Amino acid sequence: MRNFKTTALLLTVPASLVAIGLYAAPILQVLALSLTEPKFGLANYQSLFANAAVGRVVMTTLKVSVMTTVLTVLASYIVAFAIIHMSAGWRRISLFLVLVPFWISVLVRAFSWITILRRRGVLNSALMEMGVISTPLDLVYNLFGVTIGMIHYMMPFAILLLYANLSDIDRRIMQAARSLGARPATIFWRVWLPLSLPGIALATLFVFVFSLGFLVTPALLGAGKTLMIAEYISVQISSTSRWDLATSLSTMLLLVVGIIVFAAMRSPALRAAFVARPQQ
Amino acid sequence: MKPRRIIEVGLPRLLAWCLLGFLFVPILVVIPVALTDRDYLSLPQDGVSMQHFAALADWSKGWLPSMLTSAGIALACAAIATALGVAFAVGAWAAGGWWPSLMRILLLSPMIVPPIIYAVGMVKLWARLSLLDSYTGVVLVHVVLALPLTVLAIGASLSNLDQRLVQAARSLGARPMTVFGKVILPNIVPGVAAGALLAFVASWDEITVTLFITGRAVVTLPRRIWTSIQDAVDPALAAIATVLLVVTVLALVARALIEHRQQRQKF
């Protein structure tokens, strides 16, 4: 009896050592460095909050993340809701259209958007040939381009989350509502929407947290002009070597993400949605 | 259809198809750009050309070495992450208790914690251990980032496994390693395979942390693509994007066909 449990626990040791030594330790070191680089104390955080450049970066990050989250969840809900009402054949086609962008490299997607949106890109050329505009529009390397790219990146995640959640809802409730004389709009607002709130909350949480610390798409589609936190941190470690700034900003980001996830997990409905997910 | 029905059902459905188009169509733009006859990023002007696909196979252009580098790193990562993930998931499932639960949270946290924070930590750690820009360094980081996926995939397989199977084997006198190797493992093969595949893809695609811990010696495919996007000149970039797109589509179609056949066999 004891022998079996000991063997089972021993099996968990190698992965645990990797997680502690190669994940927990380096991240704890980031936290430690933010308090000790260059000397011990909270001075880094004082200068962080006084730093106007950091303030601008934080505001940009919040603006892009909130816009991305709201638009992504809204658009994804519309798609997921339509998919669960389709026939099996159309549903397969729709899910295929979601899964291709889901699996394809984020770099390929960023590159596609640059090709479409840049000044001599596909969209500007087409609009100019049609005579809609006479000078090319600035569609990328700004807030607009970053937000479009982020929404495009986040939507497949959100659609799959919402689709799983909506598929779990018992359709007999809608039948009951209909047989009691509720109109389609009433059924949506009074039955579908309240029942899918846990899924919406989960999708919102994931998209917002991913957006806050996202590097690739903002860096490529913002090209240094629309600067978000992750790219700002990357500049501090790779070109200016400001470890004080990089580590204290990383710590703040980790703290914010931790608080959001912790607060969300206190809600029983959300915890249930999160825990139930891997079993599907 | 009545006007009310058009607004309540037709309009949202139309909107959904437009949004699906927004997800899928922009990716297709890489195909015509890859076929351009010019040597800068552009749509084909006077006919199509395959020269940029040929450039991918040219060793001196760097794309082929990067593909091999990424494939090698991804294979090593998948092997290590799967071995660690199987041992952990099976052990945690059989043992239970606070320690496996705590370690599970730690192992899964790379899915939520922004990778840029991990990158900051790893640059410091690898600099101290002289593992910056080394294959070992990249593989180990990719293993950490792939472990959540293998643990989740194998955990999903285990949640369908009947605990009584293990009890039966033990009551018949099977030794612990026999139970793990001959009773549990054969029953979770699909989960293990899914975990290995996810680990391979995670490593093959990883860019955020790799960007900071590699330099000139280890140039993975995502890293080369990243540099190439910033230069925004070479159409070979569109060619490699097209290749990745085609492979993704083929893999998804193959999976759909296999699932379809399995479902038909059931009935």
Instruction: Report d(CA A28, CA A42) in Å as an integer.
Output: 16
Cβ within 8 Å, pair A4-B159: no
Interface test with B, best of A90, A107, A250, A251 (most B CBs within 10 A): A107
- Residue in chain B lying closest to A224 (CA): B230
**A216 to chain B: which residues are within 8 Å by CB?**
207-208
For residue A278, the model assigns a pLDDT of 40
**B26 to chain A: which residues are within 8 Å by CB?**
109, 112-113, 116, 152
Sign for the CA dihedral angle at B105, B111, B114, B118 comes to positive
Cβ within 8 Å, pair B95-A9: yes
Touching B: A residues 35-74, CB under 8 Å? none
Question: Which range has highest mean pLDDT (A1-5, A45-49, A151-155, B48-52)?
Answer: A151-155
Residue ranges and CATH numbers for the domains of chain B are: 73-219 (1.10.3720.10)
pLDDT tops 80 at residue B265: no
Structure-token match 């790193």, residue found: B73
Structure-token match 């009691």, residue found: A180
Q: Which residues contact B230 (CB under 8 A, 6 or more apart)?
A: A220
Q: Domain segments of chain A: what residues? A: 57-279
Angle between helices B221-231 and B236-266 in degrees, nearest 10: 130
CB contact A227 to B (< 8 Å): no
Other beta carbons within 10 angstroms of residue A91's beta carbon come to 15
Cα A220 from chain centroid?
Answer: 16
For residue A162, the model assigns a pLDDT of 95
Instruction: Report d(CA A99, CA A103) in Å as an integer.
Output: 6
For residue A137, the model assigns a pLDDT of 87
Q: How far is B149 from chain A (nearest CA, A)?
A: 11
Task: Write the CA distances from B58 to A38, B126, B237, B265, integer angstroms.
Answer: 48, 33, 14, 45
Segment B149-154 shows an average pLDDT of 95
Cβ within 8 Å, pair A97-B22: no
Cβ within 8 Å, pair B244-A237: no
CB contact A106 to B (< 8 Å): yes
Work out the burial of residue B164: count CB atoms within 10 Å of its CB; fewer than 13 is exposed, 13-18 middle, 19 or more buried: exposed
**A116 to chain B: which residues are within 8 Å by CB?**
26, 29
CB contact A277 to B (< 8 Å): no
For residue A97, the model assigns a pLDDT of 95
Q: Which letter does DSSP use for residue A140 in this model?
A: S
- pLDDT-wise least confident of A18-32, A177-191, B201-215: A177-191
**B238 to chain A: which residues are within 8 Å by CB?**
111, 115
Confidence band, pLDDT 50/70/90 cuts, at residue B41: confident
CB contact B122 to A (< 8 Å): yes
Cα A99 from chain centroid?
Answer: 16
pLDDT tops 70 at residue B267: no
Instruction: Report d(CA A115, CA A123) in Å as an integer.
Output: 9
CB A215 within 8 A of CB B208: yes
Q: How far is A251 from chain B (nearest CA, A)?
A: 8
For residue B42, the model assigns a pLDDT of 81
- Which tokens belong to B166? 């293990």
pLDDT tops 60 at residue A61: yes
For residue B1, the model assigns a pLDDT of 55
CB contact B251 to A (< 8 Å): yes
Work out the burial of residue B147: count CB atoms within 10 Å of its CB; fewer than 13 is exposed, 13-18 middle, 19 or more buried: buried
Structure-token match 């360094």, residue found: B137
Segment A100-118 shows an average pLDDT of 93
**ipTM of this complex:** 0.90
Phi-psi region of B232 (alpha: psi -120 to 50; beta: other; left: phi over 0): left
Write the pLDDT tens digit of every residue in A11-21: 999 999 999 99
The mean pLDDT of chain A is 90
Residue A153: which of B122, B23, B197 has the closest Cα?
B23
Write the pLDDT tens digit of every residue in B69-94: 999 999 999 999 999 999 999 999 98
Interface test with B, best of A3, A23, A253 (most B CBs within 10 A): A23
Instruction: Report d(CA B231, CA A31) in Å as an integer.
Output: 35
**A97 to chain B: which residues are within 8 Å by CB?**
20-21, 23-24
For residue A213, the model assigns a pLDDT of 93
Write the pLDDT tens digit of every residue in A63-90: 999 999 999 999 999 999 999 999 988 9
Q: How far is A98 from chain B (nearest CA, A)?
A: 7
My answer on whether omega of the bond before B3 falls inside 30° of 0, hence cis, is no
Q: How far is B89 from chain A (nearest CA, A)?
A: 7
Cβ within 8 Å, pair A24-B43: no
Instruction: Report d(CA B216, CA B213) in Å as an integer.
Output: 10
Segment B38-42 shows an average pLDDT of 83
Cβ within 8 Å, pair A25-B125: yes
What is the DSSP annotation of B57-76?
H-GGGSHHHHHHHHHHHHHH
| Continuous segment of H or E residues that includes residue A88 | helix A88-103
Task: Give the SS3 label for residue A215.
Answer: coil
For residue A272, the model assigns a pLDDT of 67
- Which tokens belong to A63? 């603006």
Confidence band, pLDDT 50/70/90 cuts, at residue A2: low
For residue A280, the model assigns a pLDDT of 33
For residue B233, the model assigns a pLDDT of 78
pLDDT tops 90 at residue B134: yes
For residue A274, the model assigns a pLDDT of 60
Write the pLDDT tens digit of every residue in A234-278: 999 988 888 889 999 999 999 999 999 988 888 777 776 665 444
Task: Give the SS3 label for residue B37.
Answer: coil
- Point out the residue among B24, B33, B222 whose CB comes nearest to the CB of A105: B222
**B63 to chain A: which residues are within 8 Å by CB?**
none
Cβ within 8 Å, pair A10-B152: no
Fold classification of A57-279 (topology level)? MetI-like fold (1.10.3720)
Q: Which letter does DSSP use for residue B215 in this model?
A: -
Write the pLDDT tens digit of every residue in B184-242: 999 999 999 999 999 999 999 999 999 999 988 999 999 999 999 988 778 899 999 99
Cβ within 8 Å, pair A100-B22: no
